[in-house]
Amino acid sequence: MIAVAVIVLLICALFFGLGRRLRQLPLPYYEGRHVVITGCDTGFGHMLAKELDARGLSVFAGCLTNNGEEELKKSCSRKLRTFPLDVSDPDSIKKALRYIKAQLPDDTGLWALVNNAGIAGSVGPVDWLTRRDYEVVMSVNLYGMIDMTNACLPLLRKEKGRVVNMTSICGRITLAPTPYCASKYAAEAYSDCLRYSA
């Protein structure tokens, strides 16, 4: 019985070690792939931009603040490009799209768009929250996602690319009555609509 347990543990350790090693290997097909990520100042967007840059992809990292751009540039290769982006502002999205198009090689599109930008917004009982509280959160977590996707779709279609929408468990289970939960439920529904139309 002990011998079987030892063998199972060794096999598990082997698979774990092999899987970890495989994730560290550079993959040649990443070369020449262009990815746009929103919300790269901190958190998941920041970590993803660094990870994809380390793996050799060409990353366009949208940051809300100058400080966010500078922090990311310090820890990444020169291949990564940052640009100012407020997904709640259609003009900012248009400027970002012009920048991305100008940086892409001729006849090249996007391999992926990662809609990561998001805000938590106000928290409290429903009768304390106003329509404005919901509008502020929806403008980033839902409308920003929709506007970025619509702006990038022609470039994504060129490369048969993909859209990755970052949502939350709060888009499936309401953990607190907040505009955040409402926005994430809506983002889940939008993602399903996008998937059906692809």
Active site residues: 180
Collapsing DSSP states into helix, strand and coil, what is residue 52?
Answer: helix
d(CA 25, CA 64): 32
**Where are the extended beta strands (E) located within the chain?**
34-37, 58-63, 81-84, 112-115, 162-165
Question: How many Cβ atoms from other residues are within 10 Å of residue 136's Cβ?
Answer: 17
Residue 162 pairs in a beta bridge with 112
- Quote the CA–CA distance of 191 and 115 in Å, as a whole number: 11
Residue 162 is given by DSSP the state E
Does residue 112 contact residue 160 with C-beta atoms inside 8 Å?
Answer: no
DSSP 3: H
- Spatial separation of the C-alpha atoms in residues 151 and 104, rounded to whole Å: 15
